[in-house]
Amino acid sequence: MVKLAIFSHFDYLPLLVVVAVAWLTPLMMSLLRMRRIPTVIMEIVIGFLIGTFLFPYLSPDSNTVLDFLAFTGFMFLMFLSGLEIDVDQIIASLPRRRLTMARYLRNPFLVGFSIFIITVVLSYGSAQILSQYIPMENTFYFALIMITTSVGIIIPVLKERGEITSRFGQMIILASVVADILSIILFSFTAFILKNGFQPEILLILGIFIIFFIFYSTGILLKRVPAIKKLIFQLSEAASQITVRGTMLMLLIFIVLAQFIGREVMLLGAFLGGLLLSVYTHKARSLLLLKLDGMGYGFFIPVFFVMVGIRFDPTVLAGLERSLFLFLALFLISLYLVKVIPSLIWTRLFGFKRAIAGGFLISSRLSLIIAASAIGLQMGLISPEINAAVILMAIITCILSPILYNQISPKPLLPADKLIIVGGSSSAVLMARRFKMHSRETIIIEKSRERHHEIVEKGLHAVHADGNDPEIYDKLDLLPANYVVVLTDSDTENIRICELLRNRYRHNRIIAVAPSRTLEQIYNRMGVETIDLLRTVVTTIENLILRPTTYHTMVETFESFSVEEIELRNPSCDGLQVKEIPFHNDASLMLVKRKNNIYVPHGDTQLRLGDTVIALGTESALDQMRGQLG
């Protein structure tokens, strides 16, 4: 009888060291305020240090276990890369009308695809030039290494600058996503062909895509079965964690299928598994992503990057001899040129400086270039010297690219989802403070220099300008999604500003205060949303008299609790009763609006797609509820 070797001797010391590095690295970087350097870069650097001074004395068995965990982390990284891709956004970007130059330049998918093709051509030319300085086993594969990019570096930079939802930010993100998808497909096919030649087995790679389509079609059908939806939702929050188990099952199915074809295709298998889950989960994937991020970035992926540092051997660079520094310099220049030159396509839309800055940002490389280099080294397609140079270049570009982007591209005044308040009254200041608690950026336009100075001293964002001046809205980059609240002290001036916004900018999201019936009618004719001041005051007094405890509680606990409207868009919640959904303990459903009807929800109340749920709770509780319902 075979017994489970629970009490066998396993040396956990190396794993303890690696996990300790993974835990200490972000803490150390936070204490030293090294926010601009990606955490994975420091994991590689510290991994190199412990690999140099500690790991040579460890047993081979320990290295085998760590290599397995690192490879699992690598697969998990590719899986999460696929999961991060918004398939809906790519589909929405596909051209549907007759293509003109103007439509081409405004289409993020077509521009991203064009940048990728130009990058491939330039990379191959650069690889041919670099091959004159050092010997290369395969020039074309080396060129493929150069075309990679790093979405994991790009998104945090854009998010920090408030550009992630802007058109420029979306152009950069989609160009990077297209590069990721096509790079992985090219890697898989190229590695298979270089290893096995043009054999009929290459059709097996196409078979993975067929299986992907079968899984996709089957999953969409199963999601529509009410009994399965209800069962999965109930089990997803229980101890069984069925969604997490299903995710791991999907990852391993595609990895094993790819493994049967060839180890060089496993990268593609893990990526397709994540892409498939991205399609399945659609808008309701935030909670699942949180759990998977915890598993991946909390354990497996840090092990991978620490092991990259441990395995990094800079001494092999000595094999380049005299050509070392010249090659490294030319390699770094090439990595930037093959991305910056194609990015000039953005010049007509965003100007020369922003186009160049975008090219520098998409030049950052990290996980994919390291993965491609590791596969090439294992297959003998690149030398150990080149592999070490690639890792070194990944570290340099990840540090240098965000710095160059921030230096070249002018930082936008405000993020895309800003709130603009015209008039610096006390009501405007109070509103700006309350929206600041919700992490919403607000800017106040005030024409009085003295009042503007007072607002700025209170720590709020304000500009000294006249709300009747169209130039200020151009400078603030007024977008259709931005709300504009008009709150000057003059009713006549408020009307002029609203007319300017409606007639010149065709802006629809305008809110104004109507202290009289006459003003309310004027605003309504313009299509401006109004606040009936008299009715608001009467309602407040009514609440204060009839519901004093509720009123004071809501006012005094605003910073801790808030009310939010959440639209139910999660198909798995459609038809479920309120008592079947494990909401956070610090959140409560107040009302459910369905079309023109409003219900007070009970445990047996069924929720339907399209319902608007009005909930009260803490910020963290409402975040979880948004993930469950939205």
What are 167-215's pLDDT values in tens digits? 777 788 778 878 877 887 887 778 778 777 777 767 777 788 888 888 8
Q: Is the separation of the CB atoms in 161 and 411 below 8 Å?
A: yes
Which of 124, 40, 87 has the alpha carbon at shortest distance from 300? 40
Q: Is the separation of the CB atoms in 620 and 565 below 8 Å?
A: no
Q: What three-state secondary structure class fits 405?
A: helix
477 and 390 together in one domain: no
- Judged against a pLDDT cut of 50, whether residue 575 lies above it is answered with yes
- Greater pLDDT, 139 or 283: 139
Maximal CA-CA distance, the chain = 92
**Tokens representing residue 297 in the block:** 């970035």
Apex 156 CA angle, 477 and 627, nearest 5:
90
Report the b/e string of 532-565 with b at 16+ CB within 10 A: eeeeeeeeeeeeeeeeeeebeeeeeeeeebbebe
Q: Is the alpha carbon torsion for 165, 167, 170, 172 positive or negative?
A: negative
pTM of the entire structure? Answer: 0.59
Q: What is the mean pLDDT of residues 441-468?
A: 86
Which of 238, 134, 116, 239 has the alpha carbon at shortest distance from 181? 116
How confident is the model over 309-333, as pLDDT tens digits?
887 777 766 665 666 778 888 889 9
The CATH number of the domain holding residue 192 is 1.20.1530.20
The verdict on residue 245 lying in a domain is: no
Domain count along the chain: 3
532 and 568 together in one domain: no
- Greater pLDDT, 494 or 170: 494
Alpha-carbon distance of 456 to 472, in angstroms, equals: 17
Q: Is the separation of the CB atoms in 397 and 362 below 8 Å?
A: no
How confident is the model over 83-118, as pLDDT tens digits?
766 666 666 666 666 767 777 777 777 888 899 999
Question: In sequence order, what are the beta bridge partners of 592?
Answer: 599, 613
pLDDT at 336: 93
Question: Which of 480, 507, 539 marks a domain boundary?
Answer: 539
Of 430-444, 462-476, 571-585, the range with the lowest mean pLDDT is: 571-585
Q: What is the mean pLDDT of residues 564-573?
A: 77
The verdict on residue 29 lying in a domain is: yes
624 and 501 together in one domain: no
Question: Which of 506, 539, 572 marks a domain boundary?
Answer: 539
Instruction: Give the pairing type, strands 612-617 and 587-594.
Output: antiparallel
As a whole number, the mean pLDDT across the chain is 78
Q: Where are the beta strands (DSSP E) in 55-180?
A: none
pLDDT at 117: 92
pLDDT at 176: 81
Q: Give residue 77's pLDDT band: very low, low, confident or very high (50, 70, 90).
A: confident
- Greater pLDDT, 431 or 100: 431
Q: What is the mean pLDDT of residues 384-411?
A: 82
The verdict on residue 8 lying in a domain is: no
530 and 595 together in one domain: no
- Judged against a pLDDT cut of 70, whether residue 224 lies above it is answered with no
Alpha-carbon distance of 89 to 439, in angstroms, equals: 26
pLDDT at 303: 85
Alpha-carbon distance of 92 to 96, in angstroms, equals: 9
Is 523 buried (19+), middle (13-18) or exposed (0-12) by CB count in 10 A? buried
Alpha-carbon distance of 467 to 474, in angstroms, equals: 12
- Judged against a pLDDT cut of 50, whether residue 506 lies above it is answered with yes
Q: In what order do the strands lie in the sheet with 562-567?
A: 562-567, 612-617, 587-594, 597-599
**Tokens representing residue 392 in the block:** 């070194």
- Judged against a pLDDT cut of 60, whether residue 155 lies above it is answered with yes
Question: Which of 357, 378, 408 marks a domain boundary?
Answer: 408
- Judged against a pLDDT cut of 70, whether residue 505 lies above it is answered with yes
- Judged against a pLDDT cut of 70, whether residue 382 lies above it is answered with yes
Which of 545, 495, 503, 552 has the alpha carbon at shortest distance from 524? 495
- Greater pLDDT, 155 or 363: 363
Q: What three-state secondary structure class fits 263?
A: helix
Distances (CA, A) of 542 to 7, 393, 533, 563: 71, 67, 14, 19
The verdict on residue 126 lying in a domain is: yes
339 and 369 together in one domain: yes
pLDDT at 285: 46
DSSP state of 465: -
51 and 156 together in one domain: yes
Which of 199, 151, 198 has the alpha carbon at shortest distance from 178? 151
The verdict on residue 341 lying in a domain is: yes
Of 16-20, 269-273, 366-370, the range with the lowest mean pLDDT is: 366-370
| Phi, psi (degrees; rounded to nearest 5) at 231 | -65, -45
17 and 158 together in one domain: yes
DSSP H helices, 458-532, are 470-475, 491-503, 517-526
The verdict on residue 531 lying in a domain is: yes
Q: Is the separation of the CB atoms in 244 and 251 below 8 Å?
A: no
Apex 30 CA angle, 27 and 34, nearest 5:
125
- Judged against a pLDDT cut of 70, whether residue 36 lies above it is answered with no
How confident is the model over 512-553, as pLDDT tens digits?
888 888 888 888 888 888 887 777 777 777 777 876 776 666
- Residues with Cβ within 8 Å of residue 256, at least 6 apart in sequence: 269
pLDDT at 105: 76
The CATH number of the domain holding residue 579 is 3.30.70.1450
Q: The domain containing residue 614 runs over which residues?
A: 560-629
Q: Give residue 476's pLDDT band: very low, low, confident or very high (50, 70, 90).
A: confident
**Tokens representing residue 393 in the block:** 């270049």
Q: In what order do the strands lie in the sheet with 529-532?
A: 461-464, 442-446, 419-422, 483-486, 510-514, 529-532
- Greater pLDDT, 413 or 598: 598
148 and 35 together in one domain: yes
Of 223-237, 389-403, 500-514, 563-577, the range with the lowest mean pLDDT is: 223-237
The verdict on residue 265 lying in a domain is: no
- Residues with Cβ within 8 Å of residue 76, at least 6 apart in sequence: 251, 270, 295, 296, 300, 301, 304
- Judged against a pLDDT cut of 60, whether residue 41 lies above it is answered with yes
Alpha-carbon distance of 479 to 143, in angstroms, equals: 40
Tokens 């808008």 -> residue: 283
461 and 603 together in one domain: no
Instruction: Give the pairing type, strands 612-617 and 510-514.
Output: unpaired
Q: What three-state secondary structure class fits 186?
A: helix
pLDDT at 333: 92
**Tokens representing residue 4 in the block:** 């489970």
425 and 392 together in one domain: no
- Judged against a pLDDT cut of 60, whether residue 376 lies above it is answered with yes
**Tokens representing residue 615 in the block:** 């909930």
Q: What three-state secondary structure class fits 503?
A: helix
Alpha-carbon distance of 571 to 583, in angstroms, equals: 17
Q: What is the dihedral of CA 57, 59, 64, 70, to 10 degrees?
A: -30
Q: Give residue 165's pLDDT band: very low, low, confident or very high (50, 70, 90).
A: low
190 and 322 together in one domain: yes
% the chain with pLDDT above 70:
80
Alpha-carbon distance of 563 to 553, in angstroms, equals: 13
Amino acid at 387: N
403 and 424 together in one domain: no
Question: Which of 151-155, 237-241, 284-288, 358-362 is modeled with the greatest confidence?
Answer: 358-362
